Amino acid sequence: MIISIIQIVVAVVLVVLILLQERSAGLSGIFGGGEGGYYHARRGLEKTIFRGTIFLAVVFVGLAIFQFLN
């Protein structure tokens, strides 16, 4: 029961972090749209949001596997 609640909270926070990320990094950036086709390093809050998204995605998958096995 507690694992399900934690997984829901992680999912909501993960969605929020994904929505906070830069727009040009999305699908339009893949096909050459958006602001230029140059590389830029993530700095500051953008880097924190990016790493937090990766961390929460791994936690979410781990919780899903743990819940599946139990």
CB 46 within 8 A of CB 70: no
Distance CA 49, CA 55 (A): 10
> Where along the chain do its domains lie?
2-23+43-69
* Rounded percentage of the chain residues whose pLDDT exceeds 90: 59
pLDDT, the chain, mean: 84
pLDDT digits (tens, 9 = 90+) for 12-39: 999 999 999 876 555 555 555 555 556 6
Q: Which two tokens stand for residue 37?
A: 């086709």
* pLDDT score for 24: 55
Task: Check residues 24 and 48 and name the one with the higher pLDDT.
Answer: 48
* pLDDT score for 55: 96
* pLDDT score for 43: 84
